[in-house]
Amino acid sequence: GESVGLHLPTLSVQEGDNSIINCAYSNSASDYFIWYKQESGKGPQFIIDIRSNMDKRQGQRVTVLLNKTVKHLSLQIAATQPGDSAVYFCAESLYTGTASKLTFGTGTRLQVTL
Amino acid sequence: EAQVTQNPRYLITVTGKKLTVTCSQNMNHEYMSWYRQDPGLGLRQIYYSMNVEVTDKGDVPEGYKVSRKEKRNFPLILESPSPNQTSLYFCASSPWGQGEHGELFFGEGSRLTVL
């Protein structure tokens, strides 16, 4: 598969445990945030999003938390499964006046051990 | 099946030999974009297009060209590739209108090596 990040921070969790992946974003004016999952050899896939007027949003087995005070975003995965092993990216979005611009973080590798 | 298709998926070329990476989406999306992905740097935007005949520079446009003659296609052109353009490239599309937010739909990636 493709190597998407040789120097990524790695989170290792046991199957069945909960995972928490953290992200610090840079622009306090960003008003929309997305988490993407990238499996080896594939393009990023949308997981969940949240707007800046919210501080929590839940999906199926995933929860995103937003703390605008400290510009921090987290992704919680409940009952982590081997299929969750991937690189996870956060992205912040800011409307520039002509378009909404997404800026991606560098990613965290999640390894699920059996 | 809704998808973004890139070609080629893998390419090895030599410095200075012009190449084009094609991107096509079948979702009637207005917005399309090209990114490159390098270790430790994440995804960086090269160019984007809000609609047909409307393109603009992203964060790292140097050495690249794009065109948007049709809504579904957004080719990335490297007129004179150099080794620092060795990277993993992703095309993405979205139904965003101007000022809207939403997810991007990504292609599977094109691994380019310039010798």
What is the tens place of the pLDDT at every residue in A36-83?
999 998 999 999 999 999 999 999 999 999 999 999 999 999 999 999
Say whether pLDDT at A101 is over 90.
Answer: no
Q: Do B39 and A7 touch (CB under 8 A)?
A: yes
Give B100 to chain A, closest Cα distance, Å. 6
Please indicate whether, in this complex, the C-beta atoms of A51 and B99 are within 8 angstroms of each other. no
The answer to which of A64-73, A84-93, A95-104, B12-21 has the lowest mean pLDDT is A95-104
Mark yes or no for CB contact A99/B40 under 8 Å. Answer: no
pLDDT tens per residue across span A15-32: 999 999 999 998 999 999
Find which of A52, A104, A108, A109 to mutate to test the B interface (most B CBs within 10 Å of its CB). A104
Chain B: residue whose CA lies nearest to A8: B40
Q: Report the first-to-last Cα separation within chain B, whole angstroms.
A: 36
Residue A72 has a pLDDT of: 95
**What's the pLDDT at A60?**
93
Report how far residue B108's alpha carbon sits from residue B23's, in angstroms, rounded to the nearest whole number: 10
CB contact under 8 A, A43 and B90: yes
Cα nearest neighbour of B9 on chain A:
A41
How many helices and strands (H and E) does chain A possess? 0, 10
Contact A86, A21 (CB under 8 A): no
Inter-chain touch A93–B101, beta carbons under 8 Å: yes
Taking the CA atoms of residue A90, residue A91, residue A92 and residue A95 in that order, the dihedral angle to the nearest 10 degrees is: -160
Greater model confidence, A34 or B101: A34
Q: DSSP 3-state assignment of B12?
A: strand
At A5, the pLDDT band (50, 70, 90 cuts) reads very low
The confidence band for A95, taking pLDDT boundaries of 50, 70 and 90, is: confident
> Which residue stretches of chain B have pLDDT < 50?
none
Q: B92: which chain A residues are within 8 Å (Cβ-Cβ)? A: 43
